[in-house]
């Protein structure tokens, strides 16, 4: 983008059509042509930094560019130029910009052209053709434009070449992983615990639930927050803030959901990692079968297994958990003798180990 005469002009990243042909008729004085740039201005490789959305919008190294043909021209010395593109978010785009910058600097002819007033029709960054006596015509861009006190326009022209803008993705483009990248940590962003686990109670009644969660590996970690919500309560309750440990015991005697999150030193928090209460078994039923009892009902979608409690009477306090934990219903309880009557309660267990409310009792007599 060029600002000229109080107006903005946008130029595409490509070869420019000549706006004029500059000849000796446009001169008002001696022209100076510089055939090569000073060594201090030359480079044959480019290293650049751009902003990568996939890496938390942090400055990221682009794949470096080194032109072996230009290294040979410079006597085998690798000369890198470091560039920054803070408004570029594409690794392909930044590589095109790097290549264009390198190719442009290797077109080394620069012309100091003292023009007469015919140059008023030109603006900075316009393309022109330089056609002077004893010099073959060549394309150039107006890189400097200044009114002269003696009644003319002093132009600075830099050699231009359509090859500067050549781009073949199959040859010129490299994946971002082709170069090492350093992503600076962001103290305002912290990851959630990868998992949370509830210590599944083994008895029909319990007084507390043990909860643990995976540690978050961050240099900015200040601690963890834990909240719980009993089934009979509508809102989450805070257990404690900035816990240093990754485990806690929640006092509760009923099915209870739990969730944990990480807290950064900056005050930023992660998302929650939750162990929800699984659904209870629906419509439980018991049917006497030969040598046992068949239990049936609706298996909850968010459960991975069931706990089955058995008693010889309708007393839950006397019930004992069976060793086998069914993963589907119906399920047959075997090993009983004919005439034995049993009462059953079933409880769903989630993947995190949390438990539902008990369903039952149901009773049946073995045949």
Could you read off the pLDDT of 197-210 as tens digits, one per residue? 999 999 999 999 99
Above 50 in pLDDT, residue 296?
yes
Q: Summarize the confidence of residues 279-284 as an average pLDDT.
A: 97
Q: What confidence category does residue 108 fall into, taking pLDDT thresholds of 50, 70 and 90?
A: confident
Helix (H, G, I), strand (E, B) or coil at 98: helix
| pLDDT for the residue 244 | 83
| pLDDT for the residue 181 | 44
Question: Domain 196-275 adopts which CATH fold?
Answer: Immunoglobulin-like (2.60.40)
Intervals of CATH 2.60.40.10 along the chain: 196-275, 282-365
Q: Summarize the confidence of residues 212-239 as an average pLDDT.
A: 93
Q: What confidence category does residue 323 fall into, taking pLDDT thresholds of 50, 70 and 90?
A: very high
Enumerate residues 6+ apart whose C-beta is below 8 A from 128.
Answer: 18, 19, 20, 21, 22, 122, 139, 140, 141, 142, 157
The overall average pLDDT reported for the chain is 91
The 10s digit of each residue's pLDDT in 139-198 is 999 999 999 999 899 999 999 888 888 888 888 888 765 554 444 456 678 999 999 999
Contacts by 207-210, CB closer than 8 A, 24 or more apart = 207/251, 207/252, 207/253, 208/249, 208/250, 208/251, 208/252, 209/249, 209/250, 209/252, 209/256, 209/258, 209/354, 210/247, 210/248, 210/249, 210/250
| pLDDT for the residue 183 | 46
Helix (H, G, I), strand (E, B) or coil at 346: strand
Q: How much of the chain exceeds pLDDT 70, in percent?
A: 96
Above 60 in pLDDT, residue 74?
yes
Q: What HEC string does 180-197 produce?
A: CCCCCCCCCCCCCCCCEE
Task: Give strand pairing partners of 285.
Answer: 296
The 10s digit of each residue's pLDDT in 20-71 is 999 999 999 999 998 888 888 899 999 999 999 988 899 999 999 998 888 8
Q: How much of the chain exceeds pLDDT 90, in percent?
A: 70
Q: What confidence category does residue 88 fall into, taking pLDDT thresholds of 50, 70 and 90?
A: very high
Maximal CA-CA distance, the chain: 123
| pLDDT for the residue 178 | 53
Above 60 in pLDDT, residue 7?
yes
Q: What confidence category does residue 73 fall into, taking pLDDT thresholds of 50, 70 and 90?
A: confident
Enumerate residues 6+ apart whose C-beta is below 8 A from 334.
Answer: 291, 292
Domain 282-365 is in which class? Answer: mainly beta
Q: Summarize the confidence of residues 315-335 as an average pLDDT.
A: 97
The 10s digit of each residue's pLDDT in 123-144 is 998 999 999 988 889 999 999 9
């Amino acid at each position: 983008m060029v600002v000229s005469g109080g107006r903005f002009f946008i130029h595409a990243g490509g070869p420019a059509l000549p706006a004029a042909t500059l000849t000796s008729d446009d001169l008002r004085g001696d022209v100076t042509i510089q055939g090569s740039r000073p060594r201090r201005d030359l480079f044959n490789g480019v290293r650049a930094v751009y902003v990568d959305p996939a890496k938390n919008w942090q400055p990221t190294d682009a794949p470096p560019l080194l032109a072996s043909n230009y290294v040979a021209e410079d006597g085998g010395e690798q000369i890198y130029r470091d560039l920054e593109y803070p408004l570029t978010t594409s690794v392909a785009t930044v590589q095109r910009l790097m290549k264009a910058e390198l190719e442009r600097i290797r077109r080394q002819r620069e012309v100091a052209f003292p023009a007469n007033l015919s140059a008023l029709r030109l603006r900075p960054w316009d393309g022109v053709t330089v056609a002077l006596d004893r010099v073959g015509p060549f394309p150039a861009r107006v890189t400097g434009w200044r009114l002269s006190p003696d009644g003319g326009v002093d132009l600075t022209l830099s050699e231009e070449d359509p090859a500067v803008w050549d781009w073949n993705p199959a040859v010129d483009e490299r994946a971002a992983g082709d170069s090492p990248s350093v992503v600076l940590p962001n103290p305002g962003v912290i990851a959630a615990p990868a998992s949370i686990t509830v210590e599944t109670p083994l008895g029909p009644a319990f007084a507390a639930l043990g909860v643990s969660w995976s540690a978050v590996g961050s240099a900015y970690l200040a601690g963890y927050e834990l909240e719980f919500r009993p089934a009979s309560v509508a809102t989450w309750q805070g257990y404690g803030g900035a816990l240093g440990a990754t485990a806690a015991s929640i006092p509760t005697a009923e099915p209870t959901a739990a969730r944990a999150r990480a807290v950064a030193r900056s005050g930023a928090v992660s998302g929650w990692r939750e162990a929800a209460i699984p659904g209870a078994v629906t419509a439980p039923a018991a049917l006497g079968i030969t040598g046992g009892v068949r239990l049936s009902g609706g298996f909850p979608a968010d459960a991975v297994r069931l706990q089955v409690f058995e008693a010889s009477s309708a007393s839950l306090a006397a019930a004992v958990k069976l060793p086998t934990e069914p993963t589907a219903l119906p399920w047959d309880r075997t090993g009983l003798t004919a005439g034995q009557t049993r009462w059953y309660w079933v409880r769903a267990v989630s993947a995190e180990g949390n438990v539902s409310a008990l369903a039952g009792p149901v009773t049946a007599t073995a045949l």
